Amino acid sequence: MIGRPRAEVVSLPAYRPGKAAAQAEAEHNITNAIKLASNETAWPPIDAVLNAIRQAADGVNRYADHRATALREALGKFLDVETSHVGVGCGSVGLLQQLCLSYVNPGDEVAYPWRSFEVYPVYTQLVGGVSATAALRDHTVDLDALAAVVTERTPLVLIANPNNPTGTAVSTDALATFVEGVDPDTIVVVDEAYREFIDPALGNPVTDLLPRFPNVVVLRTFSKAHGLAGLRVGYAVGDPSVIETIDKTLFPFAVNALAQAGAMAAIASISEIESRVQTVLAERTRVVAALLELNISVPVPNANFVWIPFGPRTDAVYLELEKQGVVTRPFSGEGIRVTIGLPDENSRFLEALEGALVT
């Protein structure tokens, strides 16, 4: 080994991104593979977004506005909060890293449900923190179990709602009860990467939680519903003092000029994006119904994917799907996460699954 990398870094597994369709094609000597593995939007960006990005490209010889002031202002208007309550980052993953850098000392505990988003243990370890996890219950975040692992050594709690990879969600009423039970000095992050796909009856943390609890931070992103995963832009909504704190850890010019322009255009054309979300929701309903026909019941999905808890059969089913050119995201021994794609892609998945189940 060259140099002296930190022990926390050496013991991390190398990052393995979801398999690309092209890779599956090469491995199985097939064509027309599709990727339903990363919860992206299947459609290309809308025209207004593409035009804004093209225009912004003319100026990339200059650094962008580090604070992305115009984007923060647009988000503040969109959310009906003061601009000082809005932070931006290089994807919401960038904001998660900033939160860990800002609030977790070496030896501190970061509490989160498990299984959940795979970035949580990585960033916890990177800053020298210790993970304190609470098992899911019925594939759903168990807030009582989570409360039980939060102590005075816990500066940060991470809750993906809906949860990734299980897609289940809890209500803001339940979250409020949880937050009431933790120290007001503990930051509670509600990671709403899939906000646009959640059942609205479960509440909105920006209006239901933030006015009551200054220690709650809501994370959202342009990567999923808005179809801008490749641009890397997410945002945080919270108390101005929290936003000010995490801003100090914002990597210089982390939200690049194209990302700022694309995100602004997406907000300006939100109704077009919402209509795509409606299509995804209708497809999600169709997929769940078709799974039931195959005698497969899944936990109620609140995101743009479904979780199929195949348990010990997971790897075998995953491989059969892949051989038929349908790349999903397996969690060995637990289940498969399948992104809702274009209608044709979802039909192909359902057909492939039927095939996979008989082999």
Ligand X SMILES: *Cc1c(COP(=O)(O)O)cnc(C)c1O
Residues contributing to the site for ligand X (CB under 6 A): 39, 91-93, 117, 160, 164, 191, 193, 221, 223-224, 229, 234
331 beta partners: 335
Q: State the minimum distance, in angstroms, from the CB of residue 94 to ligand X.
A: 6
188 beta partners: 157, 216
Q: State the minimum distance, in angstroms, from the CB of residue 63 to ligand X.
A: 21
Altogether, the residues listed in the chain come to a count of: 359
List all residues 6 or more positions away from 237 whose beta carbon is below 8 Å from its beta carbon. 75, 79, 81, 85, 86, 87, 206, 210, 217, 218, 220
What HEC string does 299-324 produce? CCCCCCEEEECCHHHHHHHHHHHHHC
Q: State the minimum distance, in angstroms, from the CB of residue 225 to ligand X.
A: 11
Burial 258-273 (b: 16+ CB within 10 A, else e): bbbbbbbbbbebeeeb
Q: State the minimum distance, in angstroms, from the CB of residue 29 to ligand X.
A: 31
Comparison of 235 and 318: residue with beta carbon closer to ligand X = 235
How is residue 186 annotated by DSSP? Answer: S
Q: Which residue is nearest to ligand X (CB)?
A: 91
Comparison of 191 and 283: residue with beta carbon closer to ligand X = 191
CA gap 112, 312 in Å, rounded: 25
Cβ distance 208 to 236 under 8 Å? Answer: no
Comparison of 123 and 349: residue with beta carbon closer to ligand X = 123
Comparison of 120 and 325: residue with beta carbon closer to ligand X = 120
Comparison of 234 and 299: residue with beta carbon closer to ligand X = 234
Comparison of 218 and 352: residue with beta carbon closer to ligand X = 218
Comparison of 281 and 319: residue with beta carbon closer to ligand X = 281
Q: State the minimum distance, in angstroms, from the CB of residue 326 to ligand X.
A: 20
What HEC string does 331-350 produce? ECCCEEEEECCCHHHHHHHH
Nearest one of 169, 159, 187 to 87, comparing CA atoms: 187
Q: State the minimum distance, in angstroms, from the CB of residue 324 to ligand X.
A: 26
CA gap 340, 329 in Å, rounded: 12
Comparison of 229 and 296: residue with beta carbon closer to ligand X = 229
> Between 343-358 and 314-323, two packed helices, what is the crossing angle to 10 degrees?
120
Q: State the minimum distance, in angstroms, from the CB of residue 92 to ligand X.
A: 4
Comparison of 85 and 224: residue with beta carbon closer to ligand X = 224
Q: Is the peptide bond before 115 cis (omega within 30 degrees of 0)?
A: yes
Q: State the minimum distance, in angstroms, from the CB of residue 61 to ligand X.
A: 26
CA gap 303, 280 in Å, rounded: 9
- Work out the number of other CB atoms within 10 angstroms of the CB of residue 120: 25
Nearest one of 173, 150, 172 to 161, comparing CA atoms: 172
Q: State the minimum distance, in angstroms, from the CB of residue 317 to ligand X.
A: 22
